[in-house]
Structure 1
Amino acid sequence: MSTSKNSEEFYTKLKTQLQDTSLWPSEYLYKFIVPTDETKIQQVEGIFDNMGAVIKTKQSKKGTYTSVSINVTMKNPDAVINKYKEVGEKVEGVISL
């Protein structure tokens, strides 16, 4: 089974869950894990620039990884999914939670 098929299934399921559990527009909390590299952290933050997002970062105990939490108001489930895809395409080594 290909990775892209798995991701499409994941996004389809996520969209259904978001439609069923929230009224849109709604606040959404994104969580990403990135290797601790200021450039990668700034890339993630830049994707949410000028959206009124509240961004918090926290390094792991060993400092190898950084957790990036982003709380932002999104218009609809498609907008949420598009941001996940954008981060995945633009930031190497990112893990979406």
Structure 2
Amino acid sequence: MASQEYDKLLEKLGENKHWPLLYMFKFIAPNEDGKVKQVVSLLPKNGQISYKHTKNLKFVSITCKVKMPSAQSIVDVSSEINKIKGIIAL
């Protein structure tokens, strides 16, 4: 995500006045080179994580539902994960 996209996300999340907020992170990772483990290692440790594989097992959808304390904390997690090559954020 580019900086402008994070600014838009931060602005949109900032409109919510009720924190902490249950948030759902969703990423698609190639099922290679430990990419799934890299993504999971950057997600909040107290989140509920689920996985779905494509039929050919080339990609894994990673979903994490977790209470986040602020809009900035969501942007921080997303920006770190998006630094991993080949990851798609949904």
Normalised to the residue count of structure 2, the TM-score between the two structures is 0.89
Out of 9, 18, 28, the residue aligned to residue 23 of structure 1 is: 18
Report what 1:40 is aligned to. Answer: 35
Deviations 1:6-60 (A, max 9, x none): 711111111111111351111110000000127111111111253x111001001
Counterpart in the other structure of 1:54: 48
Structure 2: tracts of 5 or more residues without a match = none
1:79 aligned onto 2:51: no
> What is the root-mean-square deviation of aligned Cα atoms in Å?
1.7
Corresponding residue pairs, total: 90
TM-score where L is the length of structure 1: 0.83
Give structure 1 regions of 4+ aligned residues with deviation exceeding 4 angstroms.
Answer: none
- Greater per-residue helix proportion: 1
Local SS of the residue matching 2:82: helix
**Cα separation, 2, equivalents of 1:49 and 1:73:** 9
C-alpha distance 74-31 of structure 1, shift in aligned 2 (>3 A) = same
Identity of aligned residues (%): 27
Task: Tell me: CA distance 1:49–1:10, structure 2 relative to 1, closer, same or farther (3 Å).
Answer: closer
